[in-house]
Amino acid sequence: MKICCVVGARPQFVKAAALSRAVQSRNDTIFFVHTGQHYDANMSEIFFEEMEIPRPDHQMQVGGLSQGAMTGRMMEQLERVFLDENPDCVTVFGDTNSTLAGALTATKMHIPVAHIEAGLRSYNKRMPEEINRVLTDHCSDLLFVPTNASKENLMREGIDEKKIFVVGDIMVDALYYYKEKALKTSKILEKLGVKEKQYVLATVHRAESTEDSKKLRVIFESLIEISKSIKVIIPLHPRTRAALKATNLLDICEKHLEIISPVGYFDMLVLEQGASVIMTDSGGIQKEAYLFQVPCITMRNETEWRELVDKKYNTLVSPVDDNIVRAYHDCSYPKNWDLSIYGEGNTSQKILDVLLL
Ligand code: UDP
């Protein structure tokens, strides 16, 4: 069995690390295509190094292009790779342009597509991620979903139940596997001169946050307000840095917030575990906060990870007026955390059991 794994963006490297580890224990081949969607060293290279992900067999360069141009170029180049390599299956992760390009190209070439982290929905079609995940789900042959709720989302859209497998979340595998090593090797807290529970960790990167200048302003003014009572550390995504610069907010943010460059996965795990509260618009970080039992405030109008909100591990707050600041001061969380919502950390093995049948 020859499996092609298409990756391109930061969260996909984390998921691919978990899958590639699981494949190593079997006699099958996995090869990687990196689309180049994320290309900065600290958004890409560092993940391959730290997590010992096999080097991509094919490296493309499509970063920095518009949505359409990027997806089109990826498809053109992926088609050539699939023709040369003739994989038995193409695996895609999550909801980025690389996910959609991989799935569309493969399905048109009659190569079976496996979608890992299928069935998630925000029901907000203005999000590029929502378009990517819906279209990818509808051209996939095997849909690996984290929960029964995501399975139901797919069945409501008419997807055949036989193609859907509830396997838990692959990011749990990565976190459980790399956590100890991260805690042993990362020096990020010393480097930043902070102690556990004495800072808030924030991340902001979604187009819906960065492309709407009003929302961007509310989010960052709220973080600045919160920074009056506690240090706020923010590993700043390049897209967000550009948006803050364009809206003349970067200087004031740099004055009040501990803005750092995006960090590698190990430093991120340590920062997450040590945070008193995590404030984010990221999907993956909502789950990691829950796994570390750190209160999380999601600064968006909706979330795909509804169960965390329903069980009160996560507070969802629209970035409007002083909502975010109030949510920060009001946040209270359950004492007993049920950590099994997304499985036990053996999602990759469950996926391979299906894929390699
Ligand atoms: N992450 C990281 N360094 C950072 C920010 C995030 O290693 O500076 C990791 C984070 O721990 C998680 C993943 O990247 O595993 C989440 O990626 P992102 O927030 O970019 O995307 P999303 O999950 O929203 O798709």
CB of 285 closer than 6 A to ligand 1?
A: yes
For ligand 1, atom 9, name the residue with the nearest CA: 265
Q: What is the pLDDT of residues 8-17, one digit of tens each?
A: 999 999 999 9
Tell me what the mean pLDDT of segment 149-153 comes to.
98
**For position 314, what pLDDT does the model report?**
97
CB of 268 closer than 6 A to ligand 1?
A: yes
For ligand 1, atom 19, name the residue with the nearest CA: 282
Q: How many angstroms does the Cα of residue 171 sit away from the middle of ligand 1?
A: 11
Q: What is the pLDDT of residues 318-348, one digit of tens each?
A: 999 999 999 999 988 888 899 999 999 999 9
The residue to mutate among 285, 290, 291, having the most atoms of ligand 1 within 8 angstroms of its beta carbon, is 285
Q: What is the mean pLDDT of the chain?
A: 96
Bridge partner residues of 116 (DSSP): 93, 144
CB of 265 closer than 6 A to ligand 1?
A: yes
Model pTM? 0.97
Q: How many angstroms does the Cα of residue 285 sit away from the middle of ligand 1?
A: 6
Q: What is the pLDDT of residues 104-146, one digit of tens each?
A: 999 999 999 999 999 999 999 999 999 999 999 999 999 999 9
For ligand 1, atom 6, name the residue with the nearest CA: 268
**For position 63, what pLDDT does the model report?**
78
**For position 1, what pLDDT does the model report?**
87
Ligand 1 nearest-atom number relative to CA 264? 7
**Strand 199-203 relative to strand 231-235, pairing:** parallel
For ligand 1, atom 17, name the residue with the nearest CA: 11
Q: How many angstroms does the Cα of residue 264 sit away from the middle of ligand 1?
A: 9
Of 326, 323, 287, 320, which Cα lies nearest the Cα of 303? Answer: 287
